[in-house]
Structure 1
Amino acid sequence: MKVHFEIECTPEEARAFFGLPDLAPVHDAYVDKMKSMMVDGLTPADFEKVARSWMPGFADGFEQWRQLMLSAIPKTPQ
């Protein structure tokens, strides 16, 4: 025997029905952070955090590698 149910509801209604959390505030905060990074660019501290998370165990030569990468970024006049 096969039984099929067709339920029409919005994603918000489905989340509420299944007891899942509403992640809209988290999504909005993430989008705002991404927008600010696109406008302001990555700071050297942000770049270091990303590089360390991508390459664990690379800490010994990381400073030399970081200097090499930072030297490749064009300097903007202030």
Structure 2
Amino acid sequence: MKITIDIDCTPEEARHFLGLPDVKPMQDAMMREIQERMSANLQAMDPDTMLKTWLPAGIQGVEQFQKMFWTQMATALGQEGRK
């Protein structure tokens, strides 16, 4: 035997029925704080610093790898030209 019960209620009603706390005021306060901090940090940064902060280290590593690669290629081509 299988019994199915469908309950139609809002999330607020479900939280109240199950005795869970309403965390919306705390979430709103935290989001305001995060927004204020981000705005203050963005105003203090120049574009170059922002890009370095936002880009993952992997992308910066790729740039270093490219520089190393081109240096090695230039060195190899320079040595073959001397032969």
**TM-score using structure 1 length:** 0.50
Identity %: 44
Residue 38 (structure 2) pairs with residue 6 (structure 1): no
Which of the pair has the greater relative contact order for Cα pairs under 8 Å at 6+ separation?
A: 1
Q: Which has the larger radius of gyration?
A: 2
Give ranges in structure 2 of 5+ residues lacking alignment.
Answer: 43-47, 51-83
Partner of 1:25: 25
Q: Measure the CA separation in 1 of the matches of 2:31 and 2:20.
A: 21
Structure 1 gaps of 5+ residues are 43-71
Displaced runs of 4 or more, over 3 A: none
Answer 1 or 2: which has greater helix percent. Answer: 2
Normalising by the residue count of structure 2, what TM-score does the alignment of the two structures yield? 0.48
Aligned residues: 45
